[in-house]
Amino acid sequence: MLERLLILLALAGVVLAGVQVARAVARRRTAAAIGELVPEDLRSRLPSGRAAMVYFYGPNCATCADQAHVLGNLAEEQRVAIVPVDATVERYLAGALGALTVPSTALLDGSGRVRHVNVGYHPKAILARQLAGL
């Protein structure tokens, strides 16, 4: 009985360590995108000299519809351009901006530099606060 408990504890420790490593890698990838210019093929879709939010979504993502609704409201209120990108089609762009899952958003300044990367769903208040900081 004690052996089984020790095996279970060891397995739980391995899983926990794996989760921590995955989180560290995710933080490093999103941090690496901050301050970088977006790739040219995406830059050509951005409004000139204005902040924009790149929205990474997937066709089978249920949470993406909720995030799209929030972004639609934000676009109306803050007059920010929303640039939708299907992450399943344009994986290169998602990887370049640190979007490790869908939905994800990347806030860009008027020069096309990444200022914030949000992995997963984020409420309007957080996104609006990030926009205000530009």
Give the domain CATH number at 73: 3.40.30.10
**Omega cis (within 30) before 123:** no
Q: Residue type at 60?
A: N
59/87 Cα distance (integer angstroms): 9
Provide the number of structural domains found in the chain: 1
Q: Residue type at 98?
A: G
Q: Would you say residue 27 has pLDDT above 80?
A: no
Domain span at 100: 3-132
Helix (H, G, I), strand (E, B) or coil at 57: strand
pLDDT (mean) for 109-128: 94
Q: Closest by alpha carbon to 117, among 132, 130, 133?
A: 130
pLDDT value for 82? 96
Q: Would you say residue 60 has pLDDT above 90?
A: yes
20/27 Cα distance (integer angstroms): 11
Q: Would you say residue 87 has pLDDT above 90?
A: yes
What are the tokens at 9? 């504890």
